[in-house]
Structure 1
Amino acid sequence: MKFTSKRTLSRRLAALYVKMAQAYSKAAPSDFTCEGCAQNCCVSYFQHHTHIEWHYLWEGMNALPEDKRAEYLARAQENVERTREALARGEVPKVMCPVNDDGKCGLYEHRMMICRLYGVPNVVIGRAGLQQFPGCPRCMELVQGPEYGRVDRTSLYKELAQLEMEFLGSRRNQVPRVDLTLSEMLVAGPPRL
């Protein structure tokens, strides 16, 4: 596999994120908003799985003013501790994302795939066959009828997997798998490859 620069891969990931936004907007009802949602996905326990998205997240962090970056890192450290405590109690963690500023994402352009696609009805075709997800509770209240579509994540996942393989290059079988929350990615610093 030929070498592709991280800058080029970041641009391709940004283009993939545009495709995700287009798919999301086709599936989401026009009046769908997260404002005031009691089950806000920003407090959901999501783990992320790609080095390239981790790297891209840090591109966004590094573009922030130093004081804002320090604030997010402090919040992330607190979140990691609170998450570990909840898991130790056998609970699903419910902690606010460290880059959420009063309901707005402070790294909106650099947010992860799950942050971009969560909420709307979607399907994935994989080794286990067709998996269907109805969307978040708020979206399910609004989606009543055939006029609403579903995001088919299959091609989006495949493209992300291809970018991940190119990002890792010859190291792809030598680096540990990613299974980290966004807070853990921030506390750990950029991926070391």
Structure 2
Amino acid sequence: MKEITLSPEVTKEITAIYQAMQEGYDQISGEVGLTCEGCPDNCCDSYFLHHTYSEWAYLWQGLHQLDPEKLEQIISRANEYIAQSAEALAKGNRPQIMCPLNDNGLCGLYHHRMLVCRMHGIPATLTRPDGQSMRFPGCFRCQEIVKEKYKPETDAPAMNRSQLFRQLAAVESRLFEERRHLYPRVKKTIAEMIVEGPPAIPLPHCER
């Protein structure tokens, strides 16, 4: 299988999408009054699955920039994460384990962190391809603030994720020459993406 490498143009496009996400996050968090300062929780122990080869490749762009010793430490933590999460899932529990990229409470690969990591916390909306609208209330601290400031709580400002998600989906589609639907979906934790190494273009469903 051929390793997926991002061209400078695609890298720039993903970076721009992430920047727009950051600006949207800052705007909504400012309007709501949400800040992570002094929070007793750390969202880096939340269990998320990620779904794009393009983000996986972008993550590895950042990992390749680390010195070998640092990368080895992250891979070791990622292996531990996979083992511990498998044990929790086998018991029917949702894993709550610190991300292997977390370094003393902060993301060690902040500029290459994933989409979900960038969006977590604030109220957000999303219109799915089938037209169904969804609303996400944000983290527990955000929900507490919203409950106190807004009645009804749906009056709170929310970031519309739809356009940015569509832009990222378009990048993903181009990576597969507009044949993305023929290939298996990604459904992995960051730890699995780290341990498995840079992504490769899998065989289409019809050739498996």
**Per-residue displacement from partner, 1:137-189 (whole Å, max 9, x unpaired)?**
11122332499521100001100100111122266244321000000000110
Q: Does 1:191 align with 2:193?
A: no
Question: 1:100 & 1:33 partners in 2: Cα distance?
Answer: 19
Q: Does 1:27 align with 2:35?
A: no
Q: Which residue of 2 aligns with 1:131?
A: 134
Q: Which residue of 2 aligns with 1:110?
A: 112
Q: Which segment is superposed worse, 114-123 or 29-38?
A: 29-38
Q: Which residue of 2 aligns with 1:93?
A: 95
Matched residue SS, 2:100? coil
Q: Which residue of 1 aligns with 2:205?
A: none
Return the offset for 1:20.
0.3
- Code of the aligned partner of 1:8: E
Return the offset for 1:103.
1.3
Aligned length: 190
Return the offset for 1:38.
4.3
Question: 2:64 & 2:6 partners in 1: Cα distance?
Answer: 18
Question: 1:125 & 1:174 partners in 2: Cα distance?
Answer: 24
Question: 2:124 & 2:116 partners in 1: Cα distance?
Answer: 12
TM-score (norm 2): 0.84
Runs (5+) with no aligned partner, structure 1? none
TM-score (norm 1): 0.91
Q: Which residue of 1 aligns with 2:56?
A: 54
Return the offset for 1:39.
4.1
Question: 1:6 & 1:159 partners in 2: Cα distance?
Answer: 16
Question: 2:131 & 2:177 partners in 1: Cα distance?
Answer: 27
Change (3 A) 1:34 1:5: closer
Q: Please say if residues 29 and 35 of structure 2, whose CA atoms lie closer than 8 Å, have aligned partners that are also in contact.
A: no
- Code of the aligned partner of 2:142: C
- Code of the aligned partner of 1:77: N
Residue in structure 2 matching 1:182, options 166, 183, 190: 190
Q: Does 1:141 align with 2:149?
A: no
Matched residue SS, 1:131? strand
Question: 2:194 & 2:135 partners in 1: Cα distance?
Answer: 31
Question: 2:110 & 2:135 partners in 1: Cα distance?
Answer: 26
Question: 1:23 & 1:177 partners in 2: Cα distance?
Answer: 27
